[in-house]
Each structure stands twice: as structure tokens, then as C-alpha cells.
Amino acid sequence: MDTSFLEVAAERRTQDVAYSHLSVELDHLYMEDFKLGEEHLRKRIRQIAPWFRTAIAAYTDRHPGDRPRVSTCFLVDDYFSELVAPNIVVPQLLQAAADEGLRIDYLARESGCAAADGVELARLVAGRLVSVPVQGTNGSRPPTAESGWLSNGQRTPNEPAAALHPRPWQPPVEAEARNHSIFLDVELWDERDGERRWSCPMLAAVWQLLRLGLLRDHGRTVIQPRPLPVDLPSEWSAMPPVAQVNPQASPFHGYRTLSLLEDRFLPIEHAVRVILNQVGQDTEVMERVARRARQEHVPVPSDVTGRIAYVFMTDF
């Protein structure tokens, strides 16, 4: 007799998402930018358009074959400040993009990277951080963690203020230094009135993982795009975390991401990469993405930061 027995609670099922070849982020604006008015917005969009066309041409050149599936997205910062209402900003933004021949497929709000649909995405990512070890780390000591901070190496050792024989200053060390260190210590969050406020690099790291389709909560996908509301709300919190603007758009998630950013975001993205390098990935999700990309003949780099590309734009 052949019998089988299964307890569903003991299983963890991993959900899949659909992928574009490339998810392109069209600039990132602070609320201050929106406050500067419609003309400023148009100027920014005008600046992006040629870089976008160049980037797509470069990608197509590198990956000849069928027309690539590319989706575009735009992230609005509503986390650190909320000033201009969506029913004012969104139409201006979409109009400016249309006038410049740019298509915005998805509109996301940054607060969605902190928490969305009852899932605290930033906390999921923070819970998976695996500090980069310096040589000699063998597990015998707990990892030196400063709550709310993540570095790319080893900090200057602490010295009690009243030390009798103060040692000479010891430099911090970048774990992967090439000859010399570029040590970076990133603040992941702070606390205000007992509430955790995530830092911009932390949310941007979540944003990259979200676009790469690598985040799961109990195996389930997080944040599926919802249609842009016909009647735009006056509060950002009433907007979907990721709104689909273009009903014909390629999938929101991409095997790779490209971010077209103004050069003021250079230090932020350095911090984002320090974080992303240290996120322990979900092995099963990684394997599934790699398998599907292989089947489509667009193999993805095995590490996450290898899937992320940038164009830093300078006003010149």
C-alpha cells in the first residue's frame, strides 16, 4: 500500500513574479523638486529623455535578439515629507513625460518601501543582513553590530574614554579594500518618539530588491502593482504602493534594473550597494529567477549588485 501524509503548515511555498528584461527608473525627485513647480519638472524630464534612449540602445546592442521587455518606473518621495498632493503632482508628471516622449509605466511611493499592504519590507531586508567579515572571522565571536548602522568593514576600535594608556588611533578597514580602504558606515534607521524611521539608502536598497523581484514575505510576493486610481486621491497614503500607469506595460519586476539618477544621488547609491552586498538572499527565489532568465537566454549575474546599473546624469 502506498500512503502519503502532508502537513501544510510545515511547508513554505514560494510564489513567482513575472519579469521584464529591464526595469528602468526615470530619476528620483524629492518633494522639494515638486514644490519648484511644473516648469522645473519639465526641465528634469527633458534631461532624462536622451539618457533613457541611449541606455535602451546600449542594452539592445548588448543583448541582440527579440525586442527587450522594458518597464519604466518613477519613485516619489512621500516618506520623509509629504507636501504636494498626488492629484496635483501625478497629472503634471505624466503630462511632462508624454510631452518629452517618455513613458512612465509604474509610479511608486517611497513609503511603500518601508511598509506596504501590512508587510514591513524594510524590516524584512534588515533582518537578512549578513555583515561582511574581515579576515579571521571564524564564528567564535558575535558579529560586531551597531544597532541601526552597517559598515563595509571594521570600525576603528572603541577605547574607553578614561583609558590609562591610550593606544594610537587605529584606522577603520574596508573589508574588500584594494590596497587602501574606502570605509563607509551607513545609518539604516533612527528612532523618533520610539518610532523607527528608515534612512534613504535603506529604503533605496529595498526599492532595488523590490524591482528585482527578490523580496518575499513568508514565501509570498510583496507589492503587486495596482491600477492607477481614476480619481487621484489628495493623500499619498491613499495611493497604491506601486501604481500601474500604463495598462500595456511590461512587468514591473526586471531581471536587471537601471536607474537614471542625478549625480547628487551618488553617495546614496554607494550606501545602497554597501547594504545590498550584505543582504543574504533567499536561495530558492534566486534559483528560480536564474533558471527563468536562462530559459529566456538572458542570463543574470549571480550576485545582486551585478544586476544593478546606473546612469548618473550631470547638468552639462
Residue number with CB closer to other proteins (31 or 289) = 289
**Closest approach of Cβ 117 to other proteins, in Å?**
13
Helix axes 38-62, 86-99, angle to 10 degrees: 50
SS (H, E, C) 125-150: HHCCECCCCCCCCCCCCCCCCCCCEE
**Closest approach of Cβ 287 to other proteins, in Å?**
8
Question: What b-and-e string marks burial along 47-85, b requiring 16 or more CB atoms within 10 Å of the CB?
Answer: bbbebbeebbeebeeeeeeeebbbbbbbbbbbbeebebe
Q: Residue 206's CB: how many other CB atoms inside 10 A? A: 29
Phi/psi for 242 (5° steps) reads: -130, 115
**Closest approach of Cβ 99 to other proteins, in Å?**
39
CA end-to-end distance (rounded Å), the chain: 77
Residue number with CB closer to other proteins (35 or 220) = 220
**Closest approach of Cβ 122 to other proteins, in Å?**
10
User: CA-to-CA distance for 211 and 206, rounded, in angstroms?
Assistant: 9
Residue number with CB closer to other proteins (50 or 219) = 219
**Closest approach of Cβ 256 to other proteins, in Å?**
14
Under the rule (CB under 8 A), what is the footprint of other proteins?
5, 7, 9-12, 119-120, 123-124, 126-128, 130-143, 175-176, 216-219, 276-281, 283, 286-287, 291, 302-306
Residue number with CB closer to other proteins (124 or 186) = 124
C-alpha cell at 251: 512587468
Residue number with CB closer to other proteins (56 or 115) = 115
Of 308, 179, 200, 309, nearest to 264 (Cα)?
A: 200
**Closest approach of Cβ 135 to other proteins, in Å?**
5
Residue number with CB closer to other proteins (29 or 276) = 276
**Closest approach of Cβ 10 to other proteins, in Å?**
4
**Closest approach of Cβ 284 to other proteins, in Å?**
10
Of 28, 62, 66, 67, nearest to 45 (Cα)?
A: 28
Question: What b-and-e string marks burial along 274-287, b requiring 16 or more CB atoms within 10 Å of the CB?
Answer: bbbbbbebbeebee
Distance of CA 215 to CAs 123, 203, 281, Å? 11, 13, 9
